[in-house]
Structure 1
Amino acid sequence: MKTVNVHEAKTRLSQLLVAVENGEDVVIARNGVPVARLSSVEPAISREPGLWRVHPGWEGYVYDPAVLAPMNDAEIEDEGWA
């Protein structure tokens, strides 16, 4: 783990970020006292649309946008909402 002071961190931030990307942690100190740590961030989970179709029972599912479409007046009355 590399320790740098605040002034060095400000002047070499790009180089420190490269070190962090390579898996190294960097501690930033003020007057020799550690105050912060730079560490890498876990990448976001990659998601693909329709990935849930691999689960049993969803193989042949086809999305019907009419399911979420607004109801017309006749459908509202048929459902008993009017």
Structure 2
Amino acid sequence: MEQEEGEDYYVVTMSFRPEGDFRGSPGQEQFFVEKEGRVAHRQVLALPKARRSPVLWGAVVFVAVITVAIAGVVFATG
């Protein structure tokens, strides 16, 4: 969490993530709060990004390599 103080407002930047067992980088949201306490503006700076499983990527690459190999054999024996 970060905060700054301006002449008429506070700027608060917070990180957030989805509920549960989330793996990845959190998002960031920024609030502009007037000195009287009213939220004047709110903006999402970055959405949370899930980390992709290396096992899933390995399986995708494996299936792609096998598919290309089978297509090569079928084409060569043609």
TM-score scaled by length of structure 1 = 0.29
Structure showing greater Rg: 1
TM-score scaled by length of structure 2 = 0.30
More helix by share: 1
More strand by share: 2
